[in-house]
C-alpha cells in the first residue's frame, strides 16, 4: 500500500461574491445586513483545498477526507447540497456563527477541539488543509492556530502544489513575493497546508459522489454540536463600507489612435 | 507602559533588512513615540555578521536591538522562524509586536502569538488612536473596512506592505544583543524559489502600473476567430514597453486549466480579486475585462484606474474606474505599444 493519508479540510461558508454586502452593528457586534438570507458558497480557497484533498486521497488508496465546517446549521446544509456533488468527504459540521467578525482565536480553538475528537483520525497521517485566507475575515491565521493547537510544527501557507513521494515525504510550492513559489520538502505528515488556488479546476457535479456523501451528511448535520465563540477582548470601533465611488468618464467617440495617445500620456505622467 | 517589539528579517543578501522590515521600523517608531512606549527591534539573520551589518541602518531609531542568528534562519521555514520570533518576543517581553505582512512572517506570526498566549490581527493598513492602539483592516476581501482594538496582550499586528515609508535613518555602528534559541526538530528543507511562468517574469510588485488582461482577449474577434497568439504578443509587448505588472481576471486564468486556447504566460499568481491578489500600484489599466465585483475588489489599493472595453455598460463604467474607453483593446494596445516604443527610442 502507498501513503495512507488522513486529510482534514477546514472550510467555512461565505456570502456569494456577487452579493452586495452592507455592514450593520447589532448588540452582538458587527455583522452583515440580512446575513442569514444571503446566498452562500464554500469559501473559495478552502474549496481549492477540498478539491486537492479529494484528488490526493484518490491517488492514495486507503486515505480519507474529512470536511470540518463551522457555520449556522441551516446554511451549512444549503451549501453542502452543492459541495457534496463535487468531492468525496465525511462532513464534521459545527453549528456556530457565520461571518468575518468573530475572533479567529476562538474559531481556531473550536476547530482544533473538533478535529482532535474525530473518531479514527490518525494524527501521524494527518494533513490539515484549508484556505490560506478566508473570503470573510481574510486574516490567514485560523489554520495556523489550529495547527499550533494540534502540535503540528510543519506549516505551509499559500500552497499551490503538493507532490507526494513514495517514501511519504512531499514537496510543497508556497506563494511568496514577486510571483514566485518557495519550494520545500517535508519529511511527511503531520503538516498544515493553507491552500491558495492550487492547480485543479472545480470538479463537475457527480451524482454518485453526491449520493455517497448524503449517507453521512444529513445525520452529521443533525448531530452537529453548537459552538459559542468568545470575543477574547476584541472590540470593533467602526465597521463601514469604503467611500470610493468614482465619477467615471465613459469615452465612446475617440479613435484607437486618440485613445492610445491619451493612455500613453497618462502612463507617463507621475 | 507598552513595550513594542518590531520583528524584522534580513533579505536574500543576509546583511540588509528587507524593505518591508524597514517600513515596520517606521511604524514601530511612530507608535512608540505616540504611546510613550519602549521600542525594541528584533532581527532574524543567517549570521551574526549579517545581523550586525543590517543593524547599521537602525541606530537612529532609538531602539534596543536584538538578533537571532544562524544558518538555520537563512531560509524561511515555519519551525525555525517561529522558534526565532518566539525567542525574540520572550527576550523583549513585548506587549505589542509589529511585523511585516510578507510571506515569511505571515506564515508564522499566528503560531508565535499562540505560543505566547497572545492574539493577532493581520493585514493592518493603519494604526490610529491617541493613547490606545486602533488598527484598521479590511474584511470580506476589501469590501468592508473596520477599526478594531484589543485589551489583551501580547498583541501581534501584521502590517501590509506600503502602509508606511521605509525607515531611512542615519547609518552608524549599532550594538546588537544576540539572543539564544533552541532549534526545534527540522523536518522541512527549503530548496529555493521557482518562477512558475515560462520566460518573462510578468509579476512586478514595484511597478507603477498594473495591466489587467480579461477573458475578452481570447474570445472570438469580429472576424469570427480567436487570436490568442496575437493577444499574447500585444500584452507582452505592452509589458516590455511600459514596465507594468500583469494581472488577470479569474475567468481568463481558469481557461488554462480547462485546456482552452490561452495566454501561456498567465498563471493563478497573476489573478487579481476575490480569489487572487490585491496588489498595490499607483495606476491600473484593465483591458477586455467586465469589471465584475469579485475581480474589482482586488483593485482596492489601485489609485488611478482606466479600462478599455467594448461593452459600454461593463462594471467599470459604474463608478469603478476613472475613465472607460469603449474601444477594441487589440487596436488600442497595438497603438499604445507603438507609441511607447517610439518614446523609448
More confidently predicted of A223 and A270:
A223
**Alpha-carbon distance B36 to nearest alpha carbon in chain A (angstroms):** 23
Q: Out of B114, B208, B336, whose CB is closest to A260?
A: B336
* Helix (H/G/I), strand (E/B), else coil: B97: strand
Q: Which residues of A touch B141 (CB under 8 A)?
A: 17, 135, 138
Residue A84 to residue B276: CA distance in whole angstroms: 25
Positive or negative, the Cα torsion across B118, B120, B126, B132?
negative
* Helix (H/G/I), strand (E/B), else coil: A56: helix
Report whether pLDDT(B258) > 70.
no
All 3 cell numbers of residue A64?
Answer: 480519507
Is B305 in contact with A185 (Cβ distance < 8 A)? no
Reported as a pLDDT band with limits 50, 70 and 90, residue B201 is confident
Range(s) of chain B covered by CATH 3.40.50.1220 = 209-344
Kindly identify which residue of chain B lies nearest to residue A187, measuring between CA atoms: B187
Q: Out of A144, A178, A260, whose CB is closest to B110?
A: A144
Give the ranges where B36-139 is alpha helix by DSSP (H).
48-55, 78-92, 103-106, 109-115
Reported as a pLDDT band with limits 50, 70 and 90, residue B325 is very high
Query: Mean pLDDT across the stretch B292-320?
Result: 91
Positive or negative, the Cα torsion across B321, B286, B211, B268?
positive
Looking at residue B313, the DSSP 8-state letter turns out to be T
Cis geometry, peptide bond prior to residue B263 (ω within 30 degrees of 0) = no
- Tens of pLDDT, residue by residue over B47-86, are 999 999 999 999 999 999 999 999 999 999 999 999 999 9
- Picking from B335, B340, B342 by the largest number of A CB atoms within 10 A of its own CB, the best residue to mutate is B335
Report whether pLDDT(B198) > 60.
no
What pTM was estimated for this model as a whole?
A: 0.90
Report whether pLDDT(B275) > 90.
no
**φ, ψ at A111 (rounded to 5°):** -65, -45
Kindly identify which residue of chain A lies nearest to residue B184, measuring between CA atoms: A153
- Chain A, 222-251: which have a CB under 8 Å from a chain B CB? 232-242, 245-251
Is A235 in contact with B108 (Cβ distance < 8 A)? no
- Picking from B265, B326, B336 by the largest number of A CB atoms within 10 A of its own CB, the best residue to mutate is B336
Query: Mean pLDDT across the stretch A48-74?
Result: 97
Is A235 in contact with B150 (Cβ distance < 8 A)? yes
pLDDT of res. B202: 86
Report whether pLDDT(A52) > 60.
yes
Reported as a pLDDT band with limits 50, 70 and 90, residue B274 is confident
CATH topology (fold) of B3-178: Rossmann fold (3.40.50)
- Tens of pLDDT, residue by residue over A70-115, are 999 999 999 999 999 999 999 999 999 989 999 999 999 999 999 9
Range(s) of chain B covered by CATH 3.40.50.620 = 3-178
Report whether pLDDT(A213) > 70.
yes
- Which residues, at least 6 apart from A215, have a Cβ–Cβ distance to it below 8 Å? none
pLDDT of res. A122: 98
CATH topology (fold) of B209-344: Rossmann fold (3.40.50)
Least confident interval from A58-62, A244-248, A252-256, B93-97: A244-248
Residue B252: in which H helix or E strand, if any? Answer: helix B250-257
Are A147 and A155 in contact by the 8 Å Cβ rule? The answer is yes
Strand partners, A93: A69
Are A181 and B193 in contact by the 8 Å Cβ rule? The answer is yes
Reported as a pLDDT band with limits 50, 70 and 90, residue B253 is confident
- Which residues, at least 6 apart from B196, have a Cβ–Cβ distance to it below 8 Å? A160, A179, A180, A181, B267, B269
Domains delineated in chain A: 6-226 (3.40.50.620)
Query: Mean pLDDT across the stretch B200-228?
Result: 89
DSSP A141-170: -HHHHHHHHTT---EEEEEEEEEE-TTS-E
Residue B179 to residue B99: CA distance in whole angstroms: 18
Strand partners, B245: B210
The per-residue pLDDT of chain B, averaged, comes to 93
Reported as a pLDDT band with limits 50, 70 and 90, residue A252 is very high
Kindly identify which residue of chain B lies nearest to residue A23, measuring between CA atoms: B144
pLDDT of res. B293: 84
The per-residue pLDDT of chain A, averaged, comes to 94
Decide the pairing of beta strands A13-15 and A40-42.
Answer: antiparallel
Kindly identify which residue of chain A lies nearest to residue B332, measuring between CA atoms: A256
Strand partners, B44: B9, B68
Is B139 in contact with A136 (Cβ distance < 8 A)? yes
- Picking from A40, A109, A128, A256 by the largest number of B CB atoms within 10 A of its own CB, the best residue to mutate is A256
Report whether pLDDT(B261) > 60.
no
**Alpha-carbon distance A43 to nearest alpha carbon in chain B (angstroms):** 9
Residue B120 to residue A194: CA distance in whole angstroms: 17
- Tens of pLDDT, residue by residue over A122-172, are 999 999 999 999 999 999 999 999 999 999 999 999 999 999 999 999 999
- Tens of pLDDT, residue by residue over B139-189, are 998 889 999 999 999 999 999 998 999 999 999 999 999 999 999 999 999
Kindly identify which residue of chain A lies nearest to residue B294, measuring between CA atoms: A17
Report whether pLDDT(A43) > 90.
yes
Report whether pLDDT(B14) > 80.
yes
More confidently predicted of B254 and B287:
B287
Amino acid at each position: 500500500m502507498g501513503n495512507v493519508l488522513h486529510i482534514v479540510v477546514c472550510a467555512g461558508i461565505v456570502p456569494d461574491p456577487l452579493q452586495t454586502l452592507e455592514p450593520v452593528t447589532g448588540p452582538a457586534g458587527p455583522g452583515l445586513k440580512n446575513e442569514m438570507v444571503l446566498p452562500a458558497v464554500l469559501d473559495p480557497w478552502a474549496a481549492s483545498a477540498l478539491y486537492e484533498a479529494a484528488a490526493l486521497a484518490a491517488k492514495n488508496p486507503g486515505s480519507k477526507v474529512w470536511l470540518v465546517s463551522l457555520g449556522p446549521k441551516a446554511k451549512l446544509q444549503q451549501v453542502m447540497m452543492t459541495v457534496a456533488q463535487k468531492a468525496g468527504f465525511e462532513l464534521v459540521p459545527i453549528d456556530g456563527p457565520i461571518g468575518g467578525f468573530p475572533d479567529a482565536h476562538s474559531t481556531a480553538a473550536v476547530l482544533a477541539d473538533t478535529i482532535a475528537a474525530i473518531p479514527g483520525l490518525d494524527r501521524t497521517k494527518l494533513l490539515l488543509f484549508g484556505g490560506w485566507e478566508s473570503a470573510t475575515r481574510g486574516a490567514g491565521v485560523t489554520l495556523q492556530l489550529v495547527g499550533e493547537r494540534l502540535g503540528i510544527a510543519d506549516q505551509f501557507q499559500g500552497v499551490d502544489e503538493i507532490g507526494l513521494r513514495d517514501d511519504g515525504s512531499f514537496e510543497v510550492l508556497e506563494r511568496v513575493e514577486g510571483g514566485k513559489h518557495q519550494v520545500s520538502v517535508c519529511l511527511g505528515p503531520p503538516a498544515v497546508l493553507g491552500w491558495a488556488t492550487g492547480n485543479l479546476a472545480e470538479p463537475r457535479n457527480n451524482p454518485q459522489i453526491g449520493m455517497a456523501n448524503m449517507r453521512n451528511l444529513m445525520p452529521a448535520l443533525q448531530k452537529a454540536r453548537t459552538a459559542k465563540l468568545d470575543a477574547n477582548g476584541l472590540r470593533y470601533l467602526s465597521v463601514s463600507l469604503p467611500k470610493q465611488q468614482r465619477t467615471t468618464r465613459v469615452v465612446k467617440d475617440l479613435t484607437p489612435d486618440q485613445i492610445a495617445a491619451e493612455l500613453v500620456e497618462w502612463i507617463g505622467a507621475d | 507602559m507598552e513595550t513594542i517589539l518590531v520583528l524584522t528579517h534580513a533579505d536574500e543578501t543576509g546583511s540588509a533588512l528587507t524593505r518591508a522590515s524597514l517600513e515596520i521600523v517606521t511604524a514601530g517608531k511612530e507608535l512608540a513615540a505616540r504611546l510613550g512606549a519602549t521600542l525594541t527591534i528584533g532581527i532574524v539573520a543567517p549570521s551574526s555578521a549579517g545581523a550586525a551589518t543590517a543593524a547599521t541602518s537602525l541606530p537612529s531609531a532609538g531602539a534596543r536591538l536584538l538578533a537571532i542568528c544562524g544558518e538555520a534562519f537563512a531560509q524561511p521555514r515555519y519551525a525555525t522562524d517561529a522558534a526565532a520570533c518566539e525567542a525574540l518576543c520572550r527576550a523583549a517581553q513585548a506587549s505589542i509586536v509589529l511585523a511585516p505582512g510578507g510571506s515569511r512572517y505571515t506564515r508564522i506570526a499566528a503560531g508565535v502569538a499562540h505560543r505566547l498566549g497572545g492574539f493577532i490581527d493581520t493585514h493592518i493598513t493603519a494604526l490610529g488612536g491617541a493613547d490606545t492602539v486602533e488598527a484598521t483592516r479590511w474584511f470580506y476581501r476589501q469590501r468592508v473596512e473596520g477599526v478594531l482594538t484589543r485589551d489583551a496582550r501580547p498583541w501581534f499586528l501584521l502590517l501590509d506592505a506600503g502602509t508606511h515609508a521605509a525607515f531611512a535613518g542615519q547609518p552608524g555602528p549599532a550594538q546588537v544583543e544576540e539572543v539564544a534559541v533552541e532549534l526545534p526538530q527540522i523536518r522541512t528543507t527549503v530548496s529555493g524559489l521557482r518562477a512558475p511562468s515560462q520566460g518573462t517574469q510578468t509579476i512586478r510588485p514595484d511597478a507603477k502600473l498594473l495591466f489587467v488582461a480579461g477573458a475578452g482577449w481570447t474570445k472570438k474577434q469580429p472576424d469570427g476567430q480567436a487570436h490568442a497568439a496575437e493577444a499574447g504578443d500585444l500584452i507582452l509587448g505592452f509589458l516590455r514597453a511600459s514596465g507594468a505588472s500583469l494581472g488577470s481576471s479569474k475567468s481568463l486564468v481558469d481557461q488554462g486549466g480547462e485546456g482552452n486556447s490561452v495566454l501561456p504566460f498567465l498563471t493563478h499568481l497573476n489573478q487579481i480579486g476575490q480569489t487572487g491578489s490585491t496588489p498595490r500600484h499607483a495606476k491600473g489599466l484593465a483591458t477586455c475585462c467586465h469589471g465584475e465585483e469579485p475581480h474589482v475588489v482586488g483593485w482596492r489599493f489601485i489609485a488611478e484606474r482606466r479600462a478599455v472595453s467594448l461593452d459600454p455598460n461593463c462594471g467599470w463604467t459604474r463608478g469603478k474606474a476613472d475613465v472607460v474607453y469603449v474601444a477594441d483593446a487589440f487596436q488600442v494596445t497595438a497603438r499604445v505599444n507603438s507609441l511607447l516604443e517610439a518614446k523609448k527610442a
